């Protein structure tokens, strides 16, 4: 397995991580616990070292799953989790909350569920407009000094927020959506991360499954599936955006590769400090994703992709307006 370092922090991880959310949350019925534990351990056997979870996934259940699965393999893995939401007594999400006391409470809970003494990489899940980012970074800095956290990250934060946080506590990684399906980070975020020496961990690098080529206009999602209410998964948008899948298939035929593999190979080729975290509950998909790392897209391939995608206008917003406002982008 190839390794990459997240920015100038020195945190070395596998060139491809594993997003664990879908094992417990967001994409319909949670996976069978025994099967998911086996899946996580199989990922380690294949060289995956970066595993991504969050307090809110479940909530709580995904951290517990990851903790149980990886406890025997603790010295081989880097576990990332997130804080930043207010949760009710029943676990229901009740808005963002990155107040210092809430951060400390979240970290103590995550440590127990993950069965670790230290969280390797701790992200603020979403920017809290009511708490200065300096206070957030300062609280994480204290947690690092206390030995509860090793590295600090941000998720879906804007350029100025990243810059301000980095002054107080160096930011090791930014986690935000980035793929051929969503390229906004190229405008401001990638240049800033390069300037500051911050790694980039793209979530949804396969466009929540769209870039696998397995989703068609007649695909229907259950209401328990996060994609049910997303504009880009409306039938008319899926149909219009098939041009992107057609492109990936054309490039894939040259390399005997799937659309998903081409999409991931393109992503890792953008910068040497980008580490995507595609999620899956199937071992065959994990192997497919790992196979993308052995592809060597040529400069001609990259130019072809760039030229063709420039001519494609993707239809549908990635989030409903209310959800988009929760991001800092």
CATH number at residue 284: 3.20.20.100
How far is residue 83's CA from residue 110's CA, in Å, rounded to a whole number? 9
Beta-strand ranges (E) seen in the chain are 3-5, 12-14, 18-19, 50-52, 78-83, 85-87, 93-96, 119-124, 149-155, 171-177, 199-203
Active site residue 151: no
Closest CA to 32 of 70, 61, 71: 61
Q: Which two tokens stand for residue 313?
A: 């206008």
Q: Which of 57, 60, 123, 178 is catalytic?
A: 57
CA dihedral (84, 87, 93, 95) positive or negative = negative
Based on the structure, what is the number of domains in the chain? 1
Domain span at 34: 3-325
Q: What angle do CA 120, 179, 13 make, to 5 degrees?
A: 25
Count of CA atoms in the C-beta half-sphere (13 A) of 27? 14
Prediction pTM value:
0.96
329 residues of the chain, pLDDT tens digit each: 999 999 899 999 999 999 999 999 999 889 999 999 999 999 999 999 999 999 999 999 999 999 999 999 999 999 999 999 999 887 888 899 999 999 999 999 999 999 999 999 999 999 999 999 999 999 999 999 999 999 999 999 999 999 999 999 999 999 999 999 999 999 999 999 999 999 999 999 999 999 999 999 899 898 889 899 899 999 999 999 999 999 999 999 999 999 999 999 999 999 999 999 999 999 999 999 999 999 989 999 999 999 999 999 999 999 787 777 777 66
């Amino acid at each position: 397995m190839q390794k990459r370092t997240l920015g100038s922090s020195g945190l070395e991880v596998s060139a491809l991580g594993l997003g664990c959310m879908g094992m417990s949350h967001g994409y319909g019925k949670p996976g069978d616990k025994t099967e998911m534990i086996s899946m996580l351990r199989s990922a380690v056997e294949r060289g995956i070292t970066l595993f991504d979870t969050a307090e809110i996934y479940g909530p709580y259940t995904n951290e517990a799953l990851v903790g149980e699965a990886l406890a025997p393999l603790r010295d081989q893995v880097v576990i990332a989790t997130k804080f930043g939401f207010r949760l009710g007594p029943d676990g229901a999400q009740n808005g963002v909350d990155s107040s210092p006391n809430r951060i400390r409470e979240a970290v103590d809970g995550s440590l127990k569920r993950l069965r670790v003494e230290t969280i390797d990489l701790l992200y603020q899940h979403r920017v809290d407009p009511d708490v200065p980012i300096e206070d957030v970074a300062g609280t994480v800095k204290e947690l690092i000094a206390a030995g509860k956290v090793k590295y600090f990250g941000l998720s879906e934060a804007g350029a100025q927020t990243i810059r301000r946080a980095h002054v107080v506590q160096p930011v090791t990684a930014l986690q935000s959506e980035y793929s051929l399906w969503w390229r906004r980070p190229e405008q401001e975020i990638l240049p800033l991360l390069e300037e500051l020496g911050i790694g980039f961990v793209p979530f949804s690098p396969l466009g929540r499954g769209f870039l696998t080529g397995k989703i068609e206009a007649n695909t229907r999602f259950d209401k328990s599936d996060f994609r049910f209410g997303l504009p880009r998964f409306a039938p008319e948008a899926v149909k219009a955006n098939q041009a992107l899948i057609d492109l990936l298939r054309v490039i894939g035929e040259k390399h005997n590769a799937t659309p998903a593999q081409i999409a991931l190979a393109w992503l890792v080729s953008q910068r040497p400090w980008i580490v995507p975290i595609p999620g899956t509950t199937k071992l065959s998909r994990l192997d497919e994703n790992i196979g993308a790392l052995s592809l060597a897209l040529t400069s001609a391939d990259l130019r072809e992709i760039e030229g063709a995608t420039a001519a494609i206008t993707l239809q549908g917003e990635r989030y409903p307006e209310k959800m988009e406002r929760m991001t800092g982008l």
